[in-house]
Amino acid sequence: MRVVAAPDKFKGTARASEVAVAIADAVAQLGGTSIAVPMADGGEGTLEALGGPNRTSMVTGPLGDPVEARWRVANGTAVIEMAEASGLVLAGGAEANDPLNATTAGVGELIGEAVDAGATSIIVGVGGSATTDGGLGALEALGSVERVRGIDLVVACDVRTRFVDAASVFGPQKGASPAQVAWLTSRLEQLADRYVAERGVDVRALPRSGAAGGLAGGLAVAGARLVDGFDIISETLGLAEAIERADLVVTGEGFIDDESFEGKVVGGVAALAAGQGVRVLAVAGQVFDGAEARIRAISLADRFGLERAMASTTDCITEAILEALRGWSPGDPA
């Protein structure tokens, strides 16, 4: 039995690398072999998936205070995770956030540092933001879009939301009241007009431009390509090639629902595996929206209870995979 372990993080309880190890432990106990390919979709965990940080910079945090942001540069490619500079966790969560004034300035500062460090390619993962500033803070901190001329600037997006919808879709998660959501939406509309007038880029028409409160759209004004984070990360890590040699792929994330099949890891892994005729098994903290009809999925909360699933996530994963695969062999239904 040859298994590829390609999970996302279980947010708040286990990193993707820890989940992959838990899956591999179960496979080893069953006498199989496994390849661990911890994944991300452009959100938190992107930096770890692409090699981990090897630099730290002091930049402007989401509420204006200085924060230490980890990032990576190697072989001419820089990896920046916007949550390290402008993340909701840094703002103290939705309750402590200032949704009207939270800024992406720190992201622009990191991009500038990457350019100064000699990077010719920059990947910016944009999940987990505190911000809805349309990327204006990042652009202003960068100083001039000419700084990234000739740089392959890629925004790894974990959602496909459009620019002016960013406030209504994600504002409440960042602490915005209904009145603030309306105000933020109006500001995004005005900013979209400004970007057209000043740079000739209509961010309204760009899928994914609303990622990270419009940061993706702002960076598109500077010439960035907006892509599904899963695609660029899976390609960089050689996931398709690993799956080609496997009998089974095990993926997972904290929650599996309809959104898991819209640019997220679980849906992306399932599609890659289906394209190569390889079976897929997913494990999740909880499963919603009838997602079991789209992928075979194990809910840890249903199997072990929510309290244990959250307190001992990796142990539960190993036990659940053992249970699911005991007696299974290549050629059997997953």
Give the strand pairing for 77-81 and 66-74. antiparallel
Mean pLDDT, residues 113-117: 97
Q: What is the mean pLDDT of residues 135-156?
A: 96
Same domain (yes/no): 83, 203: yes
Same-domain check for residues 58 and 199: yes
97 lies in some domain:
yes
195 and 143 in a single domain? The answer is yes
Give this prediction's pTM: 0.91
- Segments of the chain assigned E as strands: 2-5, 33-36, 55-60, 66-74, 77-81, 121-125, 152-157, 225-228, 248-256, 279-287, 297-299
Determine, yes or no, domain membership for 175: yes
Q: Does one domain contain both 264 and 312?
A: yes
Phi, psi of 192 (to 5 degrees): -60, -40
CA atoms within 13 A on the CB side of 89: 12
* CATH number reported for the structural domain that contains residue 291 in this entry: 3.40.50.10350
Q: Looking at the structure, tell me whether residues 118 and 207 fall in a common domain.
A: yes
- What is the number of other CB atoms lying within 10 angstroms of the CB of residue 197? 8
| Whether residues 129 and 257 fall in one domain | no
8 Å CB contact between 4 and 243:
yes
**Residues 25 and 82 both lie in one domain:** no
pLDDT for 333 equals 58
Q: Give the residue among 169, 170, 137 at the shortest CA–CA distance from 60.
A: 137
Q: Is 28 within the bounds of a domain?
A: yes
Rg (CA), the chain: 20
What CATH number did the domain enclosing 110 receive?
A: 3.90.1510.10
Q: State residue 63's pLDDT score.
A: 98
Residue 157's beta-bridge partner residues? 228
Mean pLDDT across the chain:
95
Q: With 60 as the cut, is the pLDDT of residue 260 above it?
A: yes
Span 196-218, average pLDDT: 96
Tell me which of 166, 197, 230 is where a domain ends: 230
Which of 181, 202, 230 terminates a domain? The answer is 230
Same-domain check for residues 213 and 157:
yes
The widest CA-to-CA distance across the chain, in whole angstroms, is 64
- DSSP 8-state secondary structure symbol assigned to residue 260: G
- Distance (Å, rounded) from C-alpha 190 to C-alpha 72? 34
Is the model's pLDDT at 327 over the cut of 80?
no
Q: For residues 300 and 165, state if they share a domain.
A: no
Q: Which pLDDT does position 163 carry in this prediction? A: 98
**Residue 266 near residue 253 (C-beta atoms within 8 A):** yes
| Average pLDDT estimate for 235-262 | 94
What strands, in cross-sheet order, belong to the sheet with 248-256?
A: 33-36, 2-5, 248-256, 279-287, 297-299
> Would you place residue 135 in the very low, low, confident or very high pLDDT band (cuts 50, 70, 90)?
very high
Domain boundary among 168, 195, 230: 230
Split at pLDDT 50, 70, 90, the class of 328 is: confident
What is the pLDDT, as a whole number, of residue 292? 86
Provide the edge-to-edge strand list for the sheet that holds 225-228.
55-60, 66-74, 77-81, 121-125, 152-157, 225-228
What pLDDT score does 263 carry?
84
DSSP string, 142-155: H--GGGGTT-EEEE
Range(s) of the domain holding residue 156: 46-230
Number of domains in the chain: 2
